Structure 1
Amino acid sequence: MSIVQFAKKRHSAKAFDPNRKIPAGVIAELRELLRFSPSSVNSQPWHFVLASTDAGKARIAKAAEAGFPYNVSKIVDASHVLVLCTRTAITEAHLEALLAQEEHDGRFANADAKAGQRGSRLSYSDLHRYDLKDAQHWMDKQVYLALGTLLLGAATFEIDAVPMEGFNAKVLDEELGLRAKGFTSTVLVGLGYSGAGDFNAKLPKSRLPEATVFTDI
Structure 2
Amino acid sequence: MDVIEALNWRYAVKKFNSEKKLTEEQVDRIKQALQLTPTSMGLQLMKFVMVESEAVKQKITPIAYNQPQIEDASHLIVMCRKTDVQPKDIDTFIETAAAANKMEVSNPAMVDYDKSLRVSLSIPEEQQKIWMDNQVYIALGNLMTVCAIEGIDACPMEGFDRKKLNEELGFSEQNLDAVVIFALGYRSEDDYRLKFKKVRRPLEDLFETI
Q: Among 139, 163, 166, which residue is 1:173 paired with?
A: 166
Tell me which amino acid in the other structure corresponds to 1:166.
G
Q: Among 111, 114, 119, which residue is 1:118 paired with?
A: 114
**Aligned runs of 1:182-197 on 2, under 5 Å?**
182-197=175-190
Cα distance between partner residues in 2 of 1:200 and 1:24: 28
- 1:159-198 superposed Cα distances (whole Å, 9 cap, x missing partner): 1000000001111101111011111111101000001332
Tell me which amino acid in the other structure corresponds to 1:215.
E
Tell me which amino acid in the other structure corresponds to 2:75.
H
Tell me which amino acid in the other structure corresponds to 1:58.
Q
**Aligned runs of 1:59-98 on 2, under 5 Å?**
59-64=59-64, 68-69=65-66, 71=67, 73-98=68-93
Secondary structure of 1:149's counterpart equals: helix
RMSD: 1.6
Tell me which amino acid in the other structure corresponds to 2:15.
A
1:200 alignment counterpart: 193
1:145 alignment counterpart: 138
Cα distance between partner residues in 1 of 2:103 and 2:120: 19
Q: Percent identity?
A: 29
Cα distance between partner residues in 2 of 1:108 and 1:7: 41
| Uncovered stretches (5+) of structure 1, i.e. residues with no partner | none
1:162 alignment counterpart: 155
Cα distance between partner residues in 2 of 1:37 and 1:209: 29
1:45 alignment counterpart: 45
Cα distance between partner residues in 2 of 1:50 and 1:84: 9
Runs of at least 4 residues of structure 1 off by over 3 A?
A: 107-110
Question: Under a length normalisation based on structure 2, what TM-score does the superposition of the two structures give?
Answer: 0.93
Cα distance between partner residues in 2 of 1:6 and 1:121: 37
Question: Under a length normalisation based on structure 1, what TM-score does the superposition of the two structures give?
Answer: 0.91
Cα distance between partner residues in 1 of 2:62 and 2:167: 11
Return the offset for 1:129.
Answer: 3.0
Cα distance between partner residues in 2 of 1:46 and 1:199: 34
Secondary structure of 2:124's counterpart equals: helix
Return the offset for 1:107.
Answer: 7.0
**Is the Cα contact below 8 Å between 1:13 and 1:162 reproduced in 2?**
yes
Secondary structure of 2:77's counterpart equals: strand
Cα distance between partner residues in 1 of 2:97 and 2:193: 42
1:26 alignment counterpart: 26
Tell me which amino acid in the other structure corresponds to 2:86.
T
**Is the Cα contact below 8 Å between 2:2 and 2:149 reproduced in 1?**
no
Secondary structure of 1:134's counterpart equals: helix
Cα distance between partner residues in 1 of 2:121 and 2:93: 13
Range with greater deviation from structure 2 (198-207 or 134-143): 198-207
- 1:55-105 superposed Cα distances (whole Å, 9 cap, x missing partner): 2322322412xxx22x1x100010000100011101111111111221222
Cα gap change, 1:111/1:145 in structure 2, threshold over 3 Å: closer, same or farther? same
Secondary structure of 1:90's counterpart equals: coil
